[in-house]
Amino acid sequence: MIMMSDSLTAGQLKPLSKKNQSDQVVDVLKEYIASDEIQVGEKLPPELTLAKMLNVSRSTVREAIRTLSVLGYIEIVNGKGSFLRQKKADLPIQQITSWFESHKLELSDFIEVRQLIEPYAIAMAIERGTPEEFIRVDEIRRTYEQEWERGANLRLADLDARFHQAIVDMAHNRVLSKMYKVVVEAFADYRRRSFTVQEHADNAIEPHRKINAALEERNILEAQRCMREHLDKVYRDMSFSQTNQ
């Protein structure tokens, strides 16, 4: 059984290896949550304490905490810390797809999820992406423009999805990538309908260029700003498509 409290020392837990540290922290905290050492409503140890105990960076712990929050295990209260919300996840990865299928979500719900995921993911992508992955994003962007010049709009929706998925995958967070893939699939109908409007296909060119440029410059704040602006425009375009079906 894993014992965790504010009074623990770093030696009481085995330090994690360098590989997939955030995923490992998630697993450790899940085991802790499942134990009798913490009850619903109680506060988790501070991020800095957990980081020292597990010999990882505070940002790695913060990422794991956010993942557990998304899954419904914990609630993050600004200025107070993280508290155990429940012992079981709201949306295990294997259940997310059926959850989307059983709910008639509005377009705004999809966009809000993307607005939560993608600016956060692009920051991690800049910090963690490999040179090959940066090249891959640019290749997808260039292919989009080539197909756009040919008037091959049927391919543009897929290339747009691949561009954004490639950025999320660069964050090297498996839970985040899986969740985003589900969002993309649920979002596909809206995206396809939007790209039947030539203006909307045109509108992706410049935002993708700006996002890619910020990635290449490793400029996190600019990349996040460009992504948010792009998603705001996507919402306006796709709202138009939805109301004109």
Residue 16 has a pLDDT of 55
Residue 20 has a pLDDT of 57
Instruction: Please report where in the chains the tokens 């802790």 appear, as a residue.
Output: 32
Closest alpha carbon to 183 in 137, 114, 122: 114
Residue 118 has a pLDDT of 95
Contact predicate 41/84, CB 8 Å: yes
Residue 14 has a pLDDT of 53
**3-state class of 178 per DSSP?**
helix
The percent of the chain in helix, strand and coil, each rounded to the nearest 5, is: 70, 5, 25
Q: Is the pTM of this model over 0.85?
A: no
Residue 222 has a pLDDT of 97
Contact predicate 104/65, CB 8 Å: no
In the chain, what are the domains?
A: 10-84 (1.10.10.10), 93-243 (1.20.120.530)
φ, ψ for residue 128, nearest 5 deg: -115, -15
How far apart, in whole angstroms, are the C-alpha atoms of residue 69 and residue 82? 9
pLDDT in tens, the chain (245 residues): 333 444 443 344 555 554 457 778 888 999 899 888 889 999 999 999 999 988 898 988 987 887 787 667 888 888 899 999 888 765 544 454 444 444 445 667 888 889 999 999 999 999 999 999 999 999 999 999 998 998 777 688 889 999 999 999 999 999 899 889 888 887 776 777 677 678 888 999 999 999 999 999 999 999 999 999 999 888 776 655 444 44
Residue 105 has a pLDDT of 55
**3-state class of 243 per DSSP?**
helix
Contact predicate 224/123, CB 8 Å: yes
How far apart, in whole angstroms, are the C-alpha atoms of residue 190 and residue 174? 25
